[in-house]
């Protein structure tokens, strides 16, 4: 899975986004989630230009199609550049993304949002995105990622993003 995600994220293997669509859609259906909009976690403009695409959008767009929901990449924006989270500790990650996102209330207001990211490690990015979406008036936020690390039997977070959904 790590190699697939790295290939999607760094090697321009954009077809992998579509490859993972059906398992992600099945999870959404199994959980009984009923989103109005499917939205990727946004990249900063600098990172988007550097990479040429948003890997989370490569997962979100085909997922929206299969779920027959609108793909909405502009309902949430990154309002400041942040460092890459890769080498940061959990507390550094939280500080790094604090206040980095803003929702478009006209788009997300009173909507159930399915927020898509490629990987969650500590949940800091999803938490901050969800906070921005709630501030923008979203009624429900479902967070879905392709992968997460497994740390034995220990929980990933003490402040789970699911607590705000």
The tokens describing 127, both together, are 């938490």
Using only the alpha carbons of the chain, give its radius of gyration: 15
d(CA 131, CA 46): 23
CATH 3.10.180.10 holds for 2-164 = no
Is residue 103 very low, low, confident or very high in pLDDT (cuts 50, 70, 90)?
Answer: very high
Question: Is the predicted pLDDT of residue 161 greater than 50, yes or no?
Answer: no
Q: How confident is the model at residue 127 (pLDDT cuts 50, 70, 90)?
A: very high
Q: State pTM to two decimals.
A: 0.83
- Which of 5-19, 36-50, 51-65, 104-118 comes out lowest in average pLDDT? 5-19
Question: Residue 12 has which token pair?
Answer: 């321009």
């Amino acid at each position: 899975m790590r190699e697939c995600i790295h290939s999607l994220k760094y090697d321009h293997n954009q077809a992998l986004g579509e490859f993972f669509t059906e398992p992600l859609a099945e999870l959404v259906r199994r959980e009984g989630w009923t989103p109005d909009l499917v939205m990727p976690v946004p990249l900063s403009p600098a990172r988007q230009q550097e990479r040429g695409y948003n890997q989370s959008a490569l997962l979100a767009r085909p997922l929206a199609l299969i779920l027959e929901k609108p793909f909405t990449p502009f309902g949430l924006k990154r309002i400041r550049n942040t460092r890459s989270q890769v080498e940061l500790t959990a507390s550094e990650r939280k500080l790094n993304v604090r206040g980095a996102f803003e929702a478009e209330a006209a788009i997300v207001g009173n909507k159930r949002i399915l927020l898509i990211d490629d990987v969650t490690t500590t949940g800091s990015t999803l938490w901050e995105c969800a906070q921005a979406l709630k501030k923008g008036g979203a009624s429900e936020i479902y967070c879905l990622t392709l992968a997460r690390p497994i740390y034995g039997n220990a929980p990933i977070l003490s402040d789970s993003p699911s607590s705000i959904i």
